[in-house]
Amino acid sequence: MEFIIKQNVFSKALSDVGKAVSLRTLLPILAGIKIVADKDGITLIGSNSDIIIERTISVNDDKVEVIKTGSVVVSAKYLVELIKKLPEQIHIKSTNNQIHIKAGTVSTQFNGFQAEEYPSLPIINGDSIHIPAEELKDAVKTTAFATAKNETRPVLTGVNLTFTDNSLTSVATDSQRLALKKSEIDSTGEGSFVVPSSSIDELAKLVNHYSGMVEIQSAEGYIHFKTDEFALYSRLIAGHYPNTSALIPTEVKTTLVLSKETLIKGIDRACLFAGEWKNNNVSLSIHEQKLSISSGSSEMGNIQELQEISSIDGEEELKISVDGYFLLDALKTIKDSEIKIKFSGSMKPIVIESAEEESSYLHLISPVRSY
């Protein structure tokens, strides 16, 4: 194997796949990155068995020149750090499982593994689903934060992606809050997958600056996200995801329309005094047709402020306590300038939606006791 590649391109690609590599592995070869050179370009693969990231650098981009095809596996820890520190043009050559790297006057050598010993990629099966990267990124970023952080119910540590005819529904919940996003897509594929939040985080980073289409397929207990630049395989979480639609209140007593940015600032201030409470209690109520936001600490003191309400529909008798940080997490994912909050009672979850009728997201936050 032999090729010449630009340093910044190689470094970025190695960094991308290196995120899937774990140094704490029972298989020493999985602590490495597989490098494959063929007539089409360079392919890099990193894996920890739960997640696999594949990055492709095409010869058509004029960023790489393949002189000789071949493959090798090299320690990710040292390779990633070395390439970051090298000059612009890098010449790489491997012989007998050794990789030689030369850049300017710098010359170095690594011992590698036989590429044939590296685990093979899962076999793809089933139909393909196609979705614009922007839609996929929006769906996962507005929901993944609500996944459970402990393993008591493993299925809740993932994001449930459900594809039906021309539609994607992304849902996450930790049983105290829920985030849901519906997207209309031009695809006829169907399927429902529970993807670990750690895999969703890496997927969001990969698609962050990508504007093309993403192809999604199932693969032997994995889900496969593929573009012309990268591919990500994630092991799926087994188990039945709960029917979250049953959690959403059907009866609404009060609906408020508020400025999102103003509300974020108010909740952020209130959270300063909410840390004494186990659930970071912030109280919401209506006072003289304004929203009252308050919190208190026996050690620090208390805070209260009144905010203007754009519109109010229903009862004005309202008082509820919620986790202020949960509320901030939800509000920060919303792009719209005005939001709608629906209240069904002091011990019923609040529902946060956009004031725009065509918006397709929903956040639900359970109340907490204030005593």
CATH of the domain at 113: 3.10.150.10
Q: Collapsing DSSP states into helix, strand and coil, what is residue 369?
A: coil
Is residue 82 situated within a structural domain?
yes
Based on the domain organization, do 315 and 281 belong to the same domain?
Answer: yes
Asked if 244 and 171 touch (Cβ cutoff 8 Å), the reply is: yes
For 80, the token pair is: 């990633």
Q: Say how far apart CA 218 and CA 195 lie, in whole Å.
A: 12
Q: What is the pLDDT of residue 160?
A: 97
Is residue 199 situated within a structural domain?
yes
Domain of 14 in residue numbering reads as 2-117
Contacts 24+ apart (CB under 8 A), 335-338: 336/260, 337/259, 337/260, 337/261, 338/257, 338/258, 338/259, 338/260, 338/310
Number of separate domains in the chain: 3
Amino acid at 169: T
Q: What is the pLDDT of residue 91?
A: 97
Q: What is the pLDDT of residue 67?
A: 97
Tens of pLDDT, residue by residue over 46-62, are 999 899 999 999 998 88
Q: What is the pLDDT of residue 277?
A: 67
Q: Say how far apart CA 229 and CA 101 lie, in whole Å.
A: 24
Out of 96, 117, 138, a domain closes at 117
Q: Which of 16, 75, 77 is nearest to 42 (CA)?
A: 16
Based on the domain organization, do 258 and 222 belong to the same domain?
Answer: no
Parts of the chain with a pLDDT under 70 = 276-277, 357-359, 370-371
Q: State the chain's mean pLDDT as an integer.
A: 92
Is residue 190 situated within a structural domain?
yes
